[in-house]
Amino acid sequence: MNQTYDVNVETFKPLISPATIKKELPLTDNVAKTVIKGRSDVENILHKKDDRLLVIAGPCSIHDIDAALEYAHKMKQLRQEVKEKINLIMRVYFEKPRTTVGWKGLINDPFLDASYDIDEGLRKARSLLIEINRMGLPTTTEILDPITPQYIAGLLTWVAVGARTTESQTHREMASGLSMPVGFKNSTDGSLAAAINAMMAAGAPQHFLGIDPNGYSCVVCTKGNPFGHIVLRGGPHPNYDPISVEKARDSLKQKNLLDAVMIDCSHDNSGQKHKGQSFVFKSVLDQRIEGNTGIIGLMLESNLFEGSQKCNGDSKKLKYGVSITDECISWETTKKLVRCANERL
């Protein structure tokens, strides 16, 4: 008989279940308190009950656990220093969307050698999130694969849906069931419509196919997520300027959505260059200080050291603390920007 299914599938490899990995790597009460308090703080900022500035900073992607932990220890100290005016949260990204092909992140290929040991990638990701939350430092990430949340979402304070996936029905449905605030980025063409539609869809109850804690296929029924908001990341032109921000706020108000705008200082707002992030940060900070209460937060792509490097499949040859995906600003630059904001707010 001629085969009509799985013609282009080479193998199926069973994946560890979410329940099993949660049993292996459980949440402690201390970790859970960090997550719950972190989410509550972000929700209050979105609803203007907390007037602190939300700043999400961290590596474009995590590829080295030791470097990530060193970064986290530095951020924990800075978070304590600025806590009265700034809610500083660490960006801990494990999944990377690709326009064509390339390394897709720590979960997909944790050893950077095309071995694709996803079981180990999930363990590494969950272990790192536990350790950072144990420090009292809340964490954020971008959710790319709709299967991933069952493994790590219980450790996250905030998540992003990226510019390439904001239009995706699958990601809007997934966001409707997530337990934390979700930031939807505007499309790569600069359009706000997809993000606004995503906020509306994610805010409503949804029914879709997914997996349960045991890893079985199921129908997921959600309540809807009331904490969806927009993230401006630029497009063919930057969109962090006062006119673009006001246009976004007007669009949100017309749909009775949260009047809360986060600015991504990297990506197309910085021209994909790490040195542009400081200029964007200071410009948006000026707007906030001048009374634009719609701006609730900023995002920075930041690592121990500035710039980026190519990953050639040999992790031993990589420079320590330097991004292998997008260009990042250094920790020293990050610290200066956050302290500047703290002094001026």
**φ, ψ dihedrals at 308, nearest 5°:** -150, 170
Cα–Cα dist 126/92, whole Å: 11
Helix axes 118-134, 65-82, angle to 10 degrees: 30
Q: Give the start-to-end residue ranges of the domains of the chain.
A: 26-344
pLDDT digits (tens, 9 = 90+) for 211-243: 999 999 999 999 999 999 999 999 999 999 999
At 310 the pLDDT is 93
Cα–Cα dist 37/185, whole Å: 24
pLDDT digits (tens, 9 = 90+) for 240-272: 999 999 999 999 999 999 999 999 999 999 999
Cα–Cα dist 169/210, whole Å: 13
**φ, ψ dihedrals at 11, nearest 5°:** -150, 160
Architecture of the domain spanning 26-344: Alpha-Beta Barrel (3.20)
Q: Are 187 and 163 in contact (CB under 8 A)?
A: yes
User: Tens-of-pLDDT digits for all 345 residues of the chain?
Assistant: 789 999 999 999 999 999 999 999 999 999 999 999 999 999 999 999 999 999 999 999 999 999 999 999 999 999 999 999 999 999 999 998 877 788 999 999 999 999 999 999 999 999 999 999 999 999 999 999 999 999 999 999 999 999 999 999 999 999 999 999 999 999 999 999 999 999 999 999 999 999 999 999 999 999 999 999 999 999 999 999 999 999 999 999 999 999 999 999 999 999 999 999 999 999 999 999 999 999 999 999 999 999 999 988 778 899 999 999 999 999 999 999 999 999 999
